[in-house]
Amino acid sequence: MIPLARRLDAVRGSAIRDLLTLTARPDVLSLAGGLPAADLLPRERIATAATLALTDPANAQYSATMGVAELRGVLADHESVRAGRPVTPDQVVVTTGSQQALDLLARTLLDPGDPVVVEDPVYVGALQVLQAAGAELHPVPLDGDGMRVDVLADRLAAGLRPRLVHTVSSFHNPRGVTLAQDRRRALAELADRYGFLVVEDDPYGLLAFDGVPPRPVAAYGERVVRLGSASKVLAPALRVGWLTGPLEVCAAVERVKQLTDLCTSSLTQAIAAELLADTAWFDAHLKQVRAVTAERALAFTDAVAELLPGVECSTPTGGMFCWLAFPDGTDTAALLPRALEAGVGFVPGSAFAVGDEPRTTEARCCYASYPPETVREAVRRLASVVHTAAT
């Protein structure tokens, strides 16, 4: 028996996770994962970029902990456009996926017991990181316009003093909603007034179906750390994410990143830099990803409306997820094993519960991984077990 760290007890074990491994069975259509569509991953373009990158010995070596200069330059340019004000390369830290950015921020900024505001339902990756950091979680509900910033304002007025406020601002995982612009402004103002940092977790912003990524929270104030990712717009296998924010945060994050993994792959950073800097290619690629994903989203919502009447479904305007609610009281965790038998997987709402709401009658579905007809078939399989359950 090898004893584990007591502090690991705070990281939620996941009974659901064991079930979710079943969604990888070849006979299961999985609406569970957050996987980009395999057919849209630009593998040939990545292979060409890899071959080019490897003509330079530097791209086979260790790189600077903050990231490769070319990539940080491209990202600073992109972020400057998004934020509508200059973001310099020394305000960018490249991370091993944006999950690492979350973990590094928590390790850099939080001591055990520090209060942190999260959204309810919450992004599970953020929840795990914050639990591991020993943070004291304060959930704030979402509605159709994203985080209830008015509720947050009330809590702050009543004395809550969080170190961080985490938000998936655009095309929320798991809830599918987008934070309204007036709420973004209000959130940035609250950060200035009360001295907290907003962690604006934004892997999906560029997947706005209308081609116009929402103006970020960071456009309204400087106490914002933005997280981005190449996983949803290029390929997850690059493991390239990034954070942009105040210089002092970047410098401290660098110190923690060094002991965490020394640096992110210089090879995959060079690939990402090449692809993101090739504006003509990248714009065309994004346009295609958006169009295809929007088509799948429509196939999903149409099928739900037709085959799961009475089930409430969020209206996707970007990103990869729909949120289902079963007003008839269907227990989605109990439904999952039967859904898997019928050949379809999803994530029960309870996996994202963080506040008083147990979310037992809700579910997250990813519509992005399959072509429209397969998405429809997945909903049909789901409907078959929901209807059996109801009788």
Q: Is 30 in the site for its own copies (CB under 8 A)?
A: no
Contact of 206 with 286, CB cutoff 8 Å? yes
Q: Which of 159, 210, 212, 259 binds its own copies (CB under 8 A)?
A: 259
Give CA–CA dist 263/122, Å, rounded: 29
Q: Is 157 in the site for its own copies (CB under 8 A)?
A: no
**What single letter denotes the amino acid at residue 34?**
G
Instruction: Establish if 96 lies at the interface with its own copies (CB under 8 A).
Output: yes
To its own copies, the closest distance from the beta carbon of 48 in angstroms equals 9
When asked if residue 99 is in the footprint of its own copies (CB under 8 A), the reply is yes
Check if the beta carbon of residue 36 is closer than 8 Å to that of residue 232: yes
> Which residue among 46, 140, 339, 379 contacts its own copies (CB under 8 A)?
46
**295 SS3 class:** helix
* Closest to its own copies by CB, 33 or 372: 33
Part of the chain binding its own copies (CB under 8 A), chosen from 56-64, 206-214, 297-305, 344-352: 56-64
Smallest distance from the beta carbon of 274 to its own copies, in angstroms?
13
Binding its own copies (rule: CB under 8 A), the pick from 89, 97, 205, 214 is: 97
Count of C-beta atoms within a 10 Å radius of residue 123: 24
Tally the residues of the chain.
Answer: 391
Residue 288 interacts with its own copies (CB under 8 A)? no
Distance CA(105)–CA(198), nearest Å, equals 11
Residue of 173, 244, 265, 293 that binds its own copies (CB under 8 A): 265
Secondary structure string (H, E, C) spanning 204-242? CHHHECCCCCCCCHHHHCCCEEEEEECCCCCCHHHCCEE
Instruction: State the DSSP code for 81.
Output: H
Residue selected from 169, 170, 178, 264 as contacting its own copies according to rule CB under 8 A:
264
Would you say 176 or 241 has its CB closer to its own copies? 241
Cβ atoms of residues 49 and 74 within 8 Å = no
Spatial CA neighbour of 209 closest among 301, 305, 320: 320
Instruction: Give the 3-state secondary structure of residue 41.
Output: coil
Nearer to its own copies, 5 or 280 (CB): 5
Residue selected from 43, 85, 161, 387 as contacting its own copies according to rule CB under 8 A: 43
Q: Give min distance, CB of 200 to its own copies, in A.
A: 15
For residue 85, report the phi and psi dihedrals to the nearest 5 degrees. Answer: -155, 160
Task: Provide the 3-class DSSP secondary structure of residue 86.
Answer: coil
Residues in touch with its own copies (CB under 8 A): 1-8, 11, 33, 35-36, 38-39, 41, 43-44, 46-47, 50-51, 54-55, 57, 59-63, 96-97, 99-100, 103, 107-111, 114, 125, 128-129, 132, 163, 197, 223, 231, 235-239, 246, 248-249, 252, 255-256, 258-268
